[in-house]
Amino acid sequence: SQQGEEDPQALSIQEGENATMNCSYKTSINNLQWYRQNSGRGLVHLILIRSNEREKHSGRLRVTLDTSKKSSSLLITASRAADTASYFCATESETNDYKLSFGAGTTVTVRA
Amino acid sequence: NAGVTQTPKFQVLKTGQSMTLQCAQDMNHEYMSWYRQDPGMGLRLIHYSVGAGITDQGEVPNGYNVSRSTTEDFPLRLLSAAPSQTSVYFCASTLFNEQFFGPGTRLTVL
């Protein structure tokens, strides 16, 4: 069964605006990861945040993790047309066995 | 490095046919996985392998077999295709918790 659920399912923003999406999960985790998928392509790893971390940055990406609420958020700042894609959160369980459980994703459309 | 490669990119099968989806990686990663992606859903794990000669079932293994004779290759075999197996299939290899995905195989079963 899927561990993560993203919210919203779809998001449309103007170029230059920020995009925020959320992920909630059910069981304790070792880490949470965000991936991007462009239409018709494979997933690309964006960022990993470990269960003992609260915030992480990578370029225009900012990820937060609240283990008490079992939730994470991904913020993309100053969005560009190239950010148009689906974004998935994936959780790895406490057993650290590399097995990931993916959510259904948030589809982000950036309008020029 | 080519990364993770998958063949074929597209395939149409008739119900009951069998076929093998190929996956190869040139990064010497021990851990590899197969997922399927259906519309409106995230990826679901079919089978995975922690190294040559070792495979295990994921969330949705029924109707699929895998083998891992080498570190590089991790083929996925459909034993008797069913319309419910119409999906996009992704292979991935893992290093330090980060998964590297192939481009996918879009499979249609009629």
If 0-12 CB within 10 Å is exposed, 13-18 middle and 19+ buried, where does residue B65 land? Answer: middle
Question: What DSSP state is assigned to residue B76?
Answer: E
Do the Cβ atoms of B99 and A100 come within 8 Å? yes
Which of A6-15, A74-83, A96-105 shows the lowest mean pLDDT across its residues?
Answer: A96-105
Do the Cβ atoms of B4 and A42 come within 8 Å? yes
At residue B23, the pLDDT reads 98
Which residues of chain B fall short of a pLDDT of 50? none
At residue B30, the pLDDT reads 96
At residue B76, the pLDDT reads 98
Do the Cβ atoms of B97 and A98 come within 8 Å? yes
Partner residues linked to B64 by β-bridges = B78
* Option in A41, A45, A104 nearest B41 (CB): A104
* Option in A4, A31, A41 nearest B103 (CB): A41
- The fraction of chain A above a pLDDT of 70, given in percent, is 96
b (16+ CB within 10 A) / e for B22-49: ebbbeeebebbbbbbbeeeebbbbbbbb
Task: Name the minimum distance, in Å, from the CA of B17 to any CA of chain A.
Answer: 25
At residue B97, the pLDDT reads 87
Q: Which residues contact A9 (CB under 8 A, 6 or more apart)?
A: A104, A105, A106, A107
Residue of A nearest to B58 (CA): A99
Compute the distance between CA of residue B108 and CA of residue B105 in angstroms, rounded to an integer. Answer: 10
* Option in B31, B43, B100 nearest A98 (CB): B31
In order, the DSSP letters of A41-107 are: S-EEEEEEEETT-SEEEETTEEEEEETTTTEEEEEE-S--GGG-EEEEEEEEETT--S-EEE---EE
Task: Name the minimum distance, in Å, from the CA of A5 to any CA of chain B.
Answer: 9
Q: How large is the average pLDDT for residues A82-107? A: 90
